[in-house]
């Protein structure tokens, strides 16, 4: 037998539950069974419904042509059957990460505070990867009940969580003496606390599932390299890196890995780079806003621009079994910056 487990379970007083390798297969099986119910009802209205004999059903299911069709099916993708939650999933880097994970067969829950961008991203991904592969949940990562509710929604939608990407973020700049307590707290609330709450909610679910898991933090070059005029941001980013390492320690016995990706100067697609931050960075580099991308390219060792897809590739590595033997690691994706070399 290919699979001895039943796909459809009928629970009197509760309803019908369908189980399959992913959401779309389960949904299709359920739709077939609803049709079967209609056939049974029709049959019962004129006589008595009788199912196929087991041998007959077997002959259909294990027909040579059916076997040949199954053998020709493409191999399952590397993240097939896995569920990922990406915070800040409606942003530039978040959307690139979500697309990369979906292209490998994962189902992705985008969690974001920006409802408009979230709806647009979910609609777009639905068209590209199928509606069953993506869900959106509105969340403020600084709120404990909101983060808990978001993860509950993910579990209800897909049956669990295997990958958490903590990515929701902001950028801010201010000289140290002008850094208000409000600005300091805002950075820590979204970046440090937001990553903590998201990782903790995912970690608890992964521990209960007993299937391991991958937690990936999107920190920043500034987590390792101090940058003038951004002390609150840099310090909160450094807190994320160290939190990932603490998680790696405690998660290892459960097969839960925690790793960090450090981007730098990802201007394309990023909402951070559309606002005040861009003007401040241009002013501090004494160039116009349009020249900024070139400034960062020239500043890098490899003289290359970094794109959201480059960050997504590193996340895919840490989220998949390719990095099964890596935890507590940091991967800089910044086209090379000596100040952020890890030791
Ligand atoms: N773009 C870069 O150059 C760069 C460099 C280093 C690090 N990073 C980090 O990468 C991450 C993603 O940044 P991006 O460039 O894609 O920016 P972005 O602004 O395009 O995306 C960030 C997303 O986070 C969401 N968000 C903000 N506050 C939130 C909250 N309280 N709750 C839920 N969602 C919230 C925003 O709505 C947005 O969709 C951030 O953590 C950022 O610090 C970016």
Report the predicted TM-score, pTM, of the whole model to 2 decimal places: 0.94
Q: Ligand 1 centre and the CA of 92: distance in Å?
A: 7
Q: Ligand 1 centre and the CA of 39: distance in Å?
A: 51
Taking CA atoms only, the protein residue closest to ligand 1 atom 19 is 271
Is 233 designated active site? yes
Query: How large is the C-alpha radius of gyration of the chain?
Result: 24
Helices (H), the chain: 23-46, 54-61, 64-72, 92-103, 115-129, 144-158, 181-187, 194-209, 221-224, 231-251, 276-284, 292-299, 308-319
CA-to-CA distance for 82 and 318, rounded, in angstroms?
Answer: 14
Strand pairing category for 330-333 and 107-112: unpaired
Q: Enumerate domains of the chain plus CATH numbers.
A: 8-72 (no CATH), 83-340 (3.40.50.720)
Atom from ligand 1 closest to the CA of residue 272:
19
Full pLDDT tens readout for the chain, 343 residues: 888 899 999 999 999 999 988 888 899 999 999 999 999 999 999 999 999 999 999 999 899 998 899 899 999 999 999 999 999 999 999 999 999 999 999 999 999 999 999 999 999 999 999 999 999 999 999 999 999 999 999 999 999 999 999 999 999 889 999 999 999 999 999 999 999 999 999 999 999 999 999 999 999 999 999 988 899 999 999 999 999 999 999 999 999 999 999 999 999 999 988 878 888 888 888 999 889 999 999 999 999 999 999 999 999 999 999 999 999 999 999 999 999 999 8
Q: Which is the catalytic residue, given 233, 296, 307, 316?
A: 233
């Amino acid at each position: 037998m290919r699979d001895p487990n039943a796909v459809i379970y009928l629970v009197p007083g509760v309803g019908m539950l369908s189980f399959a390798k992913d959401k779309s297969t389960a949904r299709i099986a359920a739709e077939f069974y609803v049709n079967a119910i209609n056939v049974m009802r029709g049959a019962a209205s004129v006589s008595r419904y009788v199912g196929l004999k087991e041998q007959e059903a077997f002959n259909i299911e294990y027909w040579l042509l059916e076997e040949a069709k199954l053998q020709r099916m493409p191999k399952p993708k590397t993240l097939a059957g896995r569920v990922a939650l990406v915070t800040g999933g409606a942003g530039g880097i978040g959307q690139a990460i979500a697309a990369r994970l979906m292209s490998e067969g994962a189902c992705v829950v985008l969690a974001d505070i920006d409802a408009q961008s979230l709806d647009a991203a979910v609609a777009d991904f639905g068209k590209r990867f199928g509606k069953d592969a993506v869900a959106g949940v509105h969340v403020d990562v600084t709120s404990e009940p909101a983060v808990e509710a978001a993860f509950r929604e993910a579990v209800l939608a897909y049956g669990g969580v295997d990958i958490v990407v903590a990515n929701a973020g902001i950028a801010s700049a201010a000289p140290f003496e002008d850094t208000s307590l409000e600005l300091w707290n805002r950075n820590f609330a979204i970046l440090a606390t937001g990553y903590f709450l998201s990782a903790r909610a995912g970690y608890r679910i992964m521990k209960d599932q007993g299937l391991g898991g991958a937690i990936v933090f999107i920190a920043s070059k500034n987590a390792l390299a101090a940058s003038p005029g951004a002390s609150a941001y840099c310090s909160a980013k450094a807190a994320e890196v160290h939190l990932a390492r603490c998680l790696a320690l405690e998660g290892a016995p459960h097969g839960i890995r925690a790793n960090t990706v450090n981007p730098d100067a990802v201007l394309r697609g990023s909402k951070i780079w559309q606002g005040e931050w861009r003007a401040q960075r241009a002013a501090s580099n004494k160039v116009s806003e349009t020249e900024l991308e070139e400034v960062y390219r020239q500043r890098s060792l490899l003289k290359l621009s970094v794109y959201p897809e480059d960050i997504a590739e590193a996340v895919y590595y840490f989220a998949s079994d390719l990095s099964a033997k890596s935890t507590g690691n940091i991967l800089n994706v910044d086209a090379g910056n000596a100040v952020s070399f890890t030791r």
